Structure 1
Amino acid sequence: MADGKPASIKDVARLAGVSEQTVSRTVHDSPAVRPATKEKVRRAIAELGYRPSNAGRALRRGRYMALGIAMGNISETGNRDRLEMFVDAAAAQGYTIALLKMDREEPLSLGQAADRMSSLSIDGMIYVLNRTPEDFDTFVPRAGLPEVIISMHDHPACPTVDSDQEASARAVVDYLVEHGHTKIWHISGPSRSLAGVARESGWRSAMLDHGIEPPQVIAGDWSPESGYAAGTLLADKVRSGACTAVFASDDAMAYGCMCALSDAGLSVPGDVSMIGADDISSAFVPNCQLTSLHFDNSAIAEWAIGKLVIPERMADGCNHKLFPGHLVERGSVRDLR
């Protein structure tokens, strides 16, 4: 408006020559308003730049129809995929998403994230954890606001859900052993990453269960560059027969490793087998041949959103859920049997 103040419902009613109730009914597309009147009200709304009050709508509905998601490192491909699944699951229930990015360089605190998110007009909160918050065990959810934590670990006061990273990594080793491999190396994720630590633990425990002494882990950081560095280190191991298979903790490192091995004159799967994790490369690699662990982010998102907005899900008594991953077999594993 000319005076700089936002237009009100009274301003729209005055310009359109109708009652405030008619404006409200038009905003909600009520059939009780004649089409010609609706058009007149909509022209007034457009001219004044009127926006309906979220607070007023929330008061009528008893909810804001919005959910908060707090997560860090959104630029990572796996997190982008997760975020898309949450947006889709929320939209399926008629909700929108408010996003809070948690600084990955600062100490992670659920309490601080909750304080920031609870000031927004939202009906529930989801915390997506890539690392352990300093207050994970002591965190108390905000009264009257349902909350879900995306974590492999059970929480005493808040529902939790995630992929079963450790069991999935064990399945990778089982699969490779079934195909005749015993010299299986691992490129790990960052040491503070919950998924990276769980995948390394699953690889190590499965190796020991098969009576195989695990070789030294090669540390990565999720990037293809760290995978390339790992592949450079592994080239001589492959040539000597000390490495017949590599389990990389994500697809980016797997492809980096494959590039380094190729530059060293070695091929996958001819000279060494390769398995990645997250199964994201098929989205941008033509004729993708990498066998990879696939995690059902859609199921995780639907479970978490359901816990926040569907009454029967909120009261079903299931407060910790781990979804199994599964191997998508392509062409990067050689059978040595």
Structure 2
Amino acid sequence: MKFELKYAAAVFLGAVSYGILSTIVVKAYGEGYRLGEVVGSQLLVGFVLSWLLAMYKQSKAKRKARGVHEAADRAGSDAGNAGKRAGLTWKQRLVLMSAGVPTALTGLLYYQSLRYVPNSLAIILLFQFTWMGVLIHAIRLRQRPSNVMLATLAVLFVGTLLAAGVLDQSSGHVDALGIAFGLLAAVSYSLFVLFSGKAVPSADPAFRSAWMITGGMIVVFILFPPAFLWNGLIWGHLLLFGLLLGMFGAFIPPVLFASGVPHIGEGMATILGASELPVAVMLSAVVLHEQVSALQWGGVVLVLLGVAIPELVKRLPARHERSRHRA
């Protein structure tokens, strides 16, 4: 149980890191920085940190292989396996870089939505990836969603209406363009979740992450040429924002998720990952001084409940069975 809590804490902290991002982006916009500069600096920092981690792990594996003479055969086998995981073909690298494109597009669309709608609404729109992922999965398998999933989607829909302030007269006018960008970000994130798990799963997680970030960074730099690298802008406050966004968005969460998810399962990881939502909304109210009504907080709670329902329903029979055996 102790170790499970450790891995659960890793996933929770990874989600909290994601929840911090939107507040940092709004602050960067307040300093006058533009979309391409914000996303570009974030991915550049993530690119450097991810490759440093990958190279460190590769160097550590080689040192381990050279260090233990008594178990030379076993150590050599371990090093060989590590080399196979790291030694990807160019076809595999291209697949991983392609899988990283949706996450870059998600950042662009999500951060663009923050220019038009409040931070607390933008994160709610992004969280629509929950039901979009279910819809994509159902279409791909040509299967009707289960009754539990349909009930979950209903709870998510009602929660979203409340959290977005649609039923709250005090929430004011909402920009349609911002809503469109937020929903497109959710679509992009749904595709990222779909493709990332299937892209070269046998590769070492550190190298998978590094190549995916590389692909996303290349796409962003094509769409928004990184003039900040040679016009001196990177040496101002943009470097600080890039470091914060790169650490909390492109480096820490993937490392923590890769460490925790295999040990606690995807269902529980989804529940813990939803902690991104209240963190983002709370920071909107405390740091950005956005007005978040009690009705909107109720919507946040409903969205979190909707995310948790499938896993809770799945665990109830197992808990009932254990209780019956004890009796």
**Structure 1 and Structure 2 fold alike (TM over 0.5):** no
Q: Between Structure 1 and Structure 2, which shows a larger proportion of strand residues? A: 1
Q: Between Structure 1 and Structure 2, which shows a larger proportion of helix residues? A: 2
Query: Which structure is larger by alpha-carbon Rg, 1 or 2?
Result: 1
TM-score by length of 1: 0.22
- Greater RCO, CA 8 A, separation 6+: 2
